[in-house]
Amino acid sequence: MSTLASVDPQIADLIKAEERRQADTVKLIASENYVSKAVLEATGTVLTNKYSEGYPGKRYYEGQQVIDQIETLANERAKAVFGVNHANVQPYSGSPANLAIYMAFAQPGDTVMGMGLPFGGHLTHGWSVSATGKWFNPVRYGVRQDTGRIDLDEVRELALEHRPKLIFCGGTAIPRTIDFEGFASIAREVGAVLAADIAHIAGLVAGGAHPSPVGHADVISTTTHKTLRGPRGAMLMATTDEHATALNKAVFPGLQGGPHNHTTAAIAVALHEASTEAFRTYAHQVVANAKALAEELSGRGFDLVSGGTDNHLILLDLTPKGIGGKPAAQALDRAGLETNYNTVPFDTRKPFDPSGIRIGTPSVTSRGMGEAEMRQIGAWMDEVVTALSKGDAEAVIARVHNEVSELTAQFPAPGLS
């Protein structure tokens, strides 16, 4: 970054500070990861200079000799990694990708169905404050209060009653395996298009550590920067020509202008990495680590929504610990353990001050940490939360932060200097 440092030392210093922060922190945010140096390099290239509205072979600007090859390669790699017939790597991120699904398969005012945000869905699955909740008629399913899991009988009853045009499955705080086949059977029964939003679990699907929606969902959306370990971006996938054509039209010209070619190249690199045996091992280790962390926390009296995890993510209800999610997340952050506060199903507190925290293992696994480190992290979380609930956490936070720094020094994060 020598040029940046001389042109804009302020920004260069801030980037270095963020790099140090990322290196020194145990990053437990379930939706984040560390991309490889190769992905970072592809992101910071001259590809950002080029406009490419349209698709390979059919653009509205000249000079696409190279960009067409890059986008075609990204599409081909997505198709190979996920076993689909069509891929579109142009959506700017997850929300625009999901909006394209609405644009492709629904009209404003149509009934659509998705998981409610407080139960683990995403804003774009029809939540009230999102355009998808304002411009469509959303019906929401949740989880059972006694199990913390989706009840497909309830989903089916709602679908039969409301006959949605579009059903979303997937979400942002679902610790359990998504039954794509079950959702597909409901969607078929009511004549709905089934969209699987696999943003959180795409890397696990690619690595064979979570069942694939392919063959069940009509269309699939994902971000590329979570478990898939690519740049911030998104993809849409489909198996039929008809769905693929509708999605392509919705992305461009429906919603977007020129694709971000530097991101497209970095997605291609990430997909190349995701096709390796090492990535399969990574995906399975993410799940093994989450299970170890869940067991440790459960053994220490934490209340895990649904009782545990099948994937990379754990949702903790801190009510029995006598502390809110926000103060807990803030104290953990000061101890070097980065999480986010999160609503839990049937939360009695407000979204900006909810009862839970959400944690995940994609980032720590990318650093090479294993089950032993997960047990240590669970112990630190318990120490901080317990001290906080007793109102005397500062000494514990300081000690844990020192110990966290010793651990992070042993496990360098990919992509960082």
> Is 249 tagged catalytic?
no
* Nearer to ligand DSN among residue 94 and residue 118 (C-beta): 94
Amino acid at 71: E
Separation in Å, CA 294 to CA 232, 305, 381: 28, 10, 12
Q: In angstroms, what is the minimal distance from the CB of 232 to ligand DSN? A: 11
> Is 58 tagged catalytic?
no
> Is 226 tagged catalytic?
yes
Give me 28's structure tokens.
Answer: 């437990």
Separation in Å, CA 382 to CA 245, 318, 357, 401: 51, 11, 13, 14
* Nearer to ligand DSN among residue 54 and residue 142 (C-beta): 142
In 151-242 the beta strands, taken as DSSP E runs, fall at 166-170, 193-197, 219-223, 234-238
Q: In angstroms, what is the minimal distance from the CB of 32 to ligand DSN? A: 8
Residue 285 makes contact with ligand DSN by CB under 6 A: no
Contact 244, 89 (CB under 8 A): no
Give phi and psi for 276, each to the nearest 5. Answer: -95, 160
Q: In angstroms, what is the minimal distance from the CB of 122 to ligand DSN? A: 6
* Nearer to ligand DSN among residue 35 and residue 400 (C-beta): 35
Under 8 Å CB-to-CB from 340, ≥6 apart: which residues? 29, 30, 329, 357, 358
Separation in Å, CA 326 to CA 155, 312, 340, 354: 31, 21, 8, 7
The catalytically annotated residue of 43, 222, 223, 263 is 223
Residue 94 makes contact with ligand DSN by CB under 6 A: yes
Under 8 Å CB-to-CB from 20, ≥6 apart: which residues? none
Contacts of ligand DSN in 111-130 (CB under 6 A): 122
Contacts of ligand DSN in 25-54 (CB under 6 A): 31
Contact 25, 408 (CB under 8 A): yes
> Is 197 tagged catalytic?
yes
Q: In angstroms, what is the minimal distance from the CB of 54 to ligand DSN? A: 28
What's the DSSP call for residue 100? H
Contacts of ligand DSN in 295-324 (CB under 6 A): none
* Nearer to ligand DSN among residue 267 and residue 396 (C-beta): 267
* Nearer to ligand DSN among residue 31 and residue 343 (C-beta): 31
Contact 38, 273 (CB under 8 A): yes
* Nearer to ligand DSN among residue 202 and residue 387 (C-beta): 202
Give me 409's structure tokens.
Answer: 């020094």
- Using CB atoms, what's the residue nearest to ligand DSN? 31
The catalytically annotated residue of 51, 92, 249, 333 is 51
Residue 128: CB atoms within 10 A of its CB come to 12
Residue 361 makes contact with ligand DSN by CB under 6 A: no
> Is 19 tagged catalytic?
no
**With contacts defined by CB under 6 A, how many residues of the chain interact with ligand DSN?**
4
* Beta strands 193-197 and 219-223, pairing class: parallel
Q: In angstroms, what is the minimal distance from the CB of 27 to ligand DSN? A: 12
> Is 141 tagged catalytic?
no
Q: In angstroms, what is the minimal distance from the CB of 93 to ligand DSN? A: 8
Q: In angstroms, what is the minimal distance from the CB of 149 to ligand DSN? A: 19
What string marks each residue from 229 to 268 as x (binds ligand DSN by CB under 6 A) or -?
A: ----------------------------------------
Separation in Å, CA 185 to CA 179, 192, 197: 10, 10, 17
Q: What CA–CA distance (Å, rounded) separates 152 from 182?
A: 7
The catalytically annotated residue of 27, 77, 176, 226 is 226
The catalytically annotated residue of 71, 77, 124, 197 is 197
Residue 172 makes contact with ligand DSN by CB under 6 A: yes
Residues acting as catalytic residues: 51, 53, 197, 223, 226, 232
Would you tell me which residues interact with ligand DSN (CB under 6 A)?
31, 94, 122, 172
